[in-house]
Amino acid sequence: MPLATVLIPTYQHCDTLLRSIASVQGQTEQDFELFVVGDGAPPRTDEIMQTLCAQDARIRYFPHPKGEGNGEKHRHAALQQAQGEIVCYLGDDDLWLPEHLATLATLLQQVDFAHTTQMDVYPNGHINGWAGDLNLRSVRQRLLMMQWNFFGPSCVGHRLAAYQQLPHGWQPSPPDAFSDLHMWRQWLNQEGIRFHSEPSPTMLRFPSPSRPNWEMERRCAEMDAWLPRISEPGFQASLQKILLRDWQQRVERTDDFQSNAGLFAQQKEYSRAHLYYLRAIEAETQSVGFLAHWEYSEFLQQQDRIPEAINVLQAALALHPEVALLWIYQGTLMRQQGHLDSAEERHRTAIQLEPNEAQAHFQLAIDLQQQQRMPEALSAALTAQALESPQIEVRTQVERLIQSLSQSTDEHDLLAGTSV
């Protein structure tokens, strides 16, 4: 029986998948079986996997038609055949550093669920590490109560026996949760689970939303440039320095300050909440985060201090211009202030970053509607509808807007015909 079962879900990234698998095969710990789970993957994936399975007996491919959500049920089905003592995951466009599997195997001798530090690589070469500690109460509360997460599957390992005790295992998420966050909440709600958050960078993630409209050739070329680097002596140590510089502030100070601010805001002690938000932002700014800015802007908006909320979001965008949701939120606040051109500009920027974000197209449609640009507004609203947002509230709002815009457009055409 192998020490580890490695599971890679795949949808449309057949060529980057080759690079991800290569990083698994390059692990210092070689005692593993590798499950690649297809969720409506194209025929090229079948060809690639047929070759790889013939070359490496440890690899198995589980092809499936496109399933619900992100194919979570396919993952669960594959794990019913897992033989590893532990289970680890990797995205089909992410890379593991050579010590990743060995690191998780050591940690999981003592705990049931562990993760290393997620390191996101952006197109400009900047690397951002997401800090957090599952053994901090404030962090666990945010994971359970907010649409917030600081590590994805490519960082995670868990004991197979512990997974088998979960109520459901991998399953499609409800509209108000990310797929992986929904999974982590099962672990957090399970009694007796031992957790560990390891402040070690052992993987690289290449977020697709920050690479809109990139062709597969370009995605592969980027990963090819990083593959040799991850094995260079001193590479992991250089990533570690980035994390050690700000770990304490990001994990303890920022989250504790934000938790206190939220509690005081609920108790309507606004002056004390204001102070704690400022302290959280001070700590977070040093660690290049933005969640404290986001929460503080919402706090200001609730007090009708919209210009201040806009300025706080601008500070967050200075740190993370690649986050589409920040642009969307700032645009909606600018529209409230009557700055329709600026709102439209923000929402178009969000669409450039994440073309498939239904909320961005929906907000753009409202901007255009308020500018009386009805045909353009209707087009944006129809685009939002076609994206089939998982958020029920967004779908309902889009349907109402389309109905309103359709009526307005018909009336406009009728009047135009009469005048002619």
Name beta bridge partners: 96: 203
Exposed e or buried b per residue across 62-96, where buried means at least 16 C-beta atoms within 10 angstroms of its C-beta: bbbeebebbbbbbbbbbbeebebbbbbbbbbbbbb
Name beta bridge partners: 114: 157, 196
Spatial distance between the Cα atoms of 30 and 4, rounded to a whole number of angstroms? 9
More confident of the two residues 24 and 303: 24
CB half-sphere exposure, 208, CA atoms < 13 A: 14
Other CB atoms within 10 A of residue 417 CB: 8
Residue 383 falls inside a structural domain: no
Distance of alpha carbon 388 from the chain centroid: 18
257-262 average pLDDT score? 74
Spatial distance between the Cα atoms of 7 and 207, rounded to a whole number of angstroms? 19
Q: What percent of the chain has pLDDT over 70?
A: 88
Do residues 363 and 328 lie in contact, with contact meaning Cβ atoms separated by under 8 Å? Answer: yes
Do residues 117 and 155 lie in contact, with contact meaning Cβ atoms separated by under 8 Å? Answer: yes
The answer to whether residue 371 scores a pLDDT higher than 50 is: yes
Spatial distance between the Cα atoms of 108 and 114, rounded to a whole number of angstroms? 7
318-356 per-position pLDDT tens digit: 888 888 889 999 999 999 999 999 999 999 999 999 998
Spatial distance between the Cα atoms of 102 and 83, rounded to a whole number of angstroms? 17
- CA 169-171-176 angle, 5° bins: 120
> How many domains does the chain divide into?
1
Do residues 119 and 127 lie in contact, with contact meaning Cβ atoms separated by under 8 Å? Answer: yes
Mean pLDDT estimate for the chain: 87
Given pLDDT bands bounded at 50, 70 and 90, which one contains residue 416?
very low
Say what the pLDDT of residue 293 is: 85
Say what the pLDDT of residue 269 is: 83
Say what the pLDDT of residue 289 is: 65
Q: Is 295 exposed, middle or buried (0-12, 13-18, 19+ CB in 10 A)?
A: buried
Say what the pLDDT of residue 404 is: 81
278: its two tokens = 């400022």
Per DSSP, the residues of 81-106 read T---SEEEE--TT-EE-TTHHHHHHH
121-151 per-position pLDDT tens digit: 989 888 888 877 898 766 787 788 777 788 9
86-102 average pLDDT score? 98
Residue 209 falls inside a structural domain: yes
11: three-class secondary structure by DSSP: coil
Residue 382 falls inside a structural domain: no
Say what the pLDDT of residue 414 is: 37
Per DSSP, the residues of 304-346 read T-HHHHHHHHHHHHHH-TT-HHHHHHHHHHHHHTT-HHHHHHH
Given pLDDT bands bounded at 50, 70 and 90, which one contains residue 272?
confident
Residue 111 falls inside a structural domain: yes
Verdict on whether the full-model pTM lies above 0.95: no
Spatial distance between the Cα atoms of 45 and 389, rounded to a whole number of angstroms? 27
Exposed e or buried b per residue across 281-293, where buried means at least 16 C-beta atoms within 10 angstroms of its C-beta: bebbbebebbbbb
Residue 8 falls inside a structural domain: yes
What does DSSP say about strands 86-89 and 156-159: parallel, antiparallel, or unpaired?
A: antiparallel
Distances (CA, A) of 295 to 199, 292, 313, 329: 25, 5, 10, 12
Do residues 4 and 101 lie in contact, with contact meaning Cβ atoms separated by under 8 Å? Answer: yes
350: its two tokens = 């969000």
Given pLDDT bands bounded at 50, 70 and 90, which one contains residue 109?
very high
The answer to whether residue 413 scores a pLDDT higher than 50 is: no
Say what the pLDDT of residue 394 is: 61
Residue 367 falls inside a structural domain: no
Spatial distance between the Cα atoms of 317 and 294, rounded to a whole number of angstroms? 10
Per DSSP, the residues of 114-172 read EEEEEEEEPTTS-EEEEP--TTSHHHHHHHHHSS--S--GGGEEEEHHHHTTSSS-S-P
State the amino acid at position 250 in one-letter form: R
- CA 28-31-34 angle, 5° bins: 100
Say what the pLDDT of residue 7 is: 98
Residue 72 falls inside a structural domain: yes
Say what the pLDDT of residue 419 is: 32
Spatial distance between the Cα atoms of 259 and 273, rounded to a whole number of angstroms? 10
Phi, then psi, of 172 in degrees rounded to 5: -55, 145
**CATH number, domain containing residue 90:** 3.90.550.10
380: its two tokens = 């944006």
The answer to whether residue 316 scores a pLDDT higher than 70 is: yes
Expressed as residue numbers, the domain containing 151 is 4-232
Spatial distance between the Cα atoms of 389 and 400, rounded to a whole number of angstroms? 15
258-279 average pLDDT score? 78
Residue 223 falls inside a structural domain: yes
221-249 per-position pLDDT tens digit: 999 999 999 999 999 998 888 766 655 44
The answer to whether residue 266 scores a pLDDT higher than 80 is: no
Say what the pLDDT of residue 415 is: 37
310-320 average pLDDT score? 88
40-84 per-position pLDDT tens digit: 999 999 999 999 999 999 999 999 999 999 999 999 999 999 999
Say what the pLDDT of residue 417 is: 40
Which of 123-132, 197-206, 240-249, 400-409 comes out lowest in average pLDDT? 240-249
140-185 per-position pLDDT tens digit: 877 887 777 889 999 999 999 999 999 999 999 887 678 999 999 9
